[in-house]
Structure 1
Amino acid sequence: MTRRAMIRGVGHCLPERIVPNSYFEGLLDTSDEWIRTRSGIERRHFAAEGQTTSDLAAEAARAALADAGLRPDDIDAIVVATSTPDLTFPSCATMVQAQLGMTRGFAYDIQAVCAGFIFALTNANGLILSGQAERVLVIGAETFSRIMDWTDRATCVLFGDGAGALVLEAAEGTGTVADRGILASDLNSDGRYKDILYVDGGVSGTQTTGHLRMQGKEVFRHAVEKLAQTAQTSLGKLGLTGADIDWIVPHQANLRIIKGTAKKLDVPMERVIVTVQDHGNTSAASIPLALSVGKAEGKITPGDLIVAEAIGGGLAWGSAIIRW
């Protein structure tokens, strides 16, 4: 028998405030058509004043626990992927732990920007495979609205706030691709590309929060190639191809990137979960958010083979193959 990390539950949280593209027409030289054409985004959610990343993460965690039929103290560890924590320290994950009333186990954050959830999922998988944990809450949560430059129309219209969570649980499998759970993953980074996507502030460098800066054309150029490559690498570890995929659940950054990646994998858009139109780019939250929505809409069902892939600042990118 082979030990696997199986998905037991999923959930998400979106702030109540919905911000349509038309909101930006009064602030910037832009339009609903301009934003839709370049990104596919129609609306996004912004956190309320005083609502933090850990608040969103905790609510998504509660939804995932309810879906799994578990209590907080059934969980051994919490791993939160975020680039927008409440404080420099302690970790957002420990704040979630406190909000859930979880009095055992351990909690910590992972930061790989938009690729953060894939890195966190792979890390949590390792905790389970090593026997360090039996059940792990894996959360992606962001409040990117707090690091936007509202005078930069190329970036501030693209991002939104939200959180998504999965409960991973140890299970026994046969060691074949028919097993449920995380079957393979691939992680990458290349720090030479830091300057094409970064935040121009930080504790050590400027002692400020800073704003997001992005060279959109350069990011796009890297994204399609690297996302397709990492997905193919993960599939190759299992002897699979795009034809074996039931669903691609991509990082929801830009509809053109999503379509370009699907084309390279030879997967029709009918088999791609797309939420970017409703949520914008929620960074590390986008994949678990899309998984939760995909399940809620009845698209993702038990036994489906899923490819999740993401790229973010660093550059950092990766993928995971999951049997639902």
Structure 2
Amino acid sequence: MYLSGIGTATPEARYTKAECLVAFQASDWYARLDSRAHLIARTVLQRDNGIEARRLAVDTLAEVFHIDPNTLAQRFVTHAPTLAADAARRALAQAGLQPGDIDAVVVSTCTGYLCPGLSGYVVESLGLRGDVQAFDLVGQGCAAALPNLRLGYALLASNTCDHVLSVCVEVSSAAMYLDNDPGVLISACLFGDGAGAAVLSRHATPSRRRIEWVDSSSLTIPAQRQALKFEQRDGMLRNILSREVPALAAQYAQQVLATVLGRAGLNTDDISAWILHAGGRDVLLAVERGLKLKATDLRYSAAMLREYGNLSSAFVYFVLEAALADDAPGGWWWLSSFGAGFSCHGALLKVDE
């Protein structure tokens, strides 16, 4: 399998941490939460937490604090299809393909629910063929990009498809919930909205930098399910984020990496570019230490986190796009995501110079 095109999309509105803090203090929610919650919000939004700004699908930050099931559901149905289609168009354009060339589309999300699913909206918006194979994956959280890509790999390997469109889209502002729980508050300060897409092809495109999917592996640890997940409360999604997440991410990222590198006869020093999900600054630092990397090794993940926040499943498409735009050295690249489950996934890519 080859990744022949990458595309990303975000809402136009960019909001800094400072702006978010001012909006929170001006909202009705500020008075509804306790003094400890105020301290947590100020700490996260005033100190360097690795995030400077986020893109959110709202015209004003005051809208973020309209937290009720109908408002959030409408935000998702309004913006998720548009973001998904915009990212997909850019991936198609980079691949030099037309909508009619796509044989299957796989769409992942965890921040909203539609039936019929988002894949149908992407089919409609892009004008994909009526006989395109369409799949919707839900409930995999921040880790979803790699399972999405692995399904694309299986479809191509089945010889029923030449080109598969992979899309991850998250409207995190449609999964907003506030209360006095520290994990809930930190989540509200970390996540942004966006979509990423990739065109997956059976054969490489000679005129473009070749990105070949070589091998992959996954871990799912149900015993750690409570550490990171969504739950339903008051008809809305409420994010559970525990203190154990950075350590878990580092532990399982190391295991997945060791498995794949062992099969390939490689070691960490052979990796020339690291395309990692960054759940937050503390997660990124824990992964850096766990994999025995230099801070510069994770520069693309850190740069995307600073500018966009945690984009959940879409994040790794942004990191991959940044590495390609920077002409990162070719050779072996490592692509990895982790999230709800607790789950962790990794893939070894071979990239031309």
Q: TM-score, with normalisation over the residues of structure 2?
A: 0.80
Partner of 2:35: none
Corresponding residue to 1:247 among 233, 257, 273: 273
Q: What residue identity is the alignment partner of 1:118?
A: L
Return the offset for 1:90: 1.5
Partner of 2:65: none
Q: What does 1:70-219 correspond to in 2, within 5 Å?
A: 70-87=97-114, 89-103=115-129, 104-111=131-138, 112-151=140-179, 152-171=184-203, 180-201=211-232, 208-215=235-242, 217-219=243-245
Q: What is the DSSP-based 3-state SS (H/G/I as helix, E as strand, rest coil) of the residue aligned with 2:88?
A: helix
Corresponding residue to 2:52 among 42, 61, 67: 42
Partner of 1:314: 341
Q: TM-score, with normalisation over the residues of structure 1?
A: 0.87
Partner of 2:8: 12
Partner of 1:175: none
Partner of 2:27: none
Contact 1:82 1:284 in 2 (8 A): yes
Question: 1:213-243, CA deviations, whole angstroms, 9 ceiling, x for partnerless residues?
Answer: 222x121221111112212222222111111
Farther-moved stretch of structure 1 (147-156 vs 65-74): 147-156
Return the offset for 1:36: 6.9
Contact 2:247 2:286 in 1 (8 A): no
Farther-moved stretch of structure 1 (273-282 vs 231-240): 231-240
Q: Check 1:253–1:245 CA distance in 2 against 1; reply closer, same or farther (3 A cut).
A: same
- Work out the CA distance in 2 between the residues paired with 1:269 and 1:36: 23
- Work out the CA distance in 1 between the residues paired with 2:333 and 2:137: 23
Return the offset for 1:56: 0.7
Question: 1:30-76, CA deviations, whole angstroms, 9 ceiling, x for partnerless residues?
Answer: 56763475741111111145742121111000000011111111111
Return the offset for 1:188: 1.8
- Work out the CA distance in 2 between the residues paired with 1:281 and 1:83: 13
Q: Check 1:263–1:192 CA distance in 2 against 1; reply closer, same or farther (3 A cut).
A: closer
Q: What residue identity is the alignment partner of 1:163?
A: A
- Work out the CA distance in 2 between the residues paired with 1:42 and 1:63: 26
Q: What is the DSSP-based 3-state SS (H/G/I as helix, E as strand, rest coil) of the residue aligned with 1:19?
A: strand
Return the offset for 1:250: 0.8
Contact 2:141 2:229 in 1 (8 A): no
Identity fraction in percent? 27
Verify: 1:289 aligned to 2:315, yes or no: no
Q: What residue identity is the alignment partner of 2:3?
A: I
Question: 1:221-276, CA deviations, whole angstroms, 9 ceiling, x for partnerless residues?
Answer: 21111112212222222111111111111112112322332333333232322211
Question: 1:101-141, CA deviations, whole angstroms, 9 ceiling, x for partnerless residues?
Answer: 11231111223111100111111111112213111111111
- Work out the CA distance in 2 between the residues paired with 1:129 and 1:322: 17
- Work out the CA distance in 2 between the residues paired with 1:304 and 1:13: 27
Partner of 1:237: 263
By percentage of residues, which structure has more helix? 2
Return the offset for 1:319: 0.7
Q: Check 1:66–1:251 CA distance in 2 against 1; reply closer, same or farther (3 A cut).
A: same
Structure number with larger C-alpha Rg: 2
Contact 2:334 2:349 in 1 (8 A): yes
Farther-moved stretch of structure 1 (191-200 vs 248-257): 191-200
Farther-moved stretch of structure 1 (157-166 vs 263-272): 263-272
Return the offset for 1:157: 0.1
RMSD of equivalent CA atoms: 2.2
- Work out the CA distance in 1 between the residues paired with 2:289 and 2:124: 43
Partner of 1:24: 20
Q: Unaligned 5+ residue runs, structure 2? A: 25-29, 31-37, 59-74, 205-209
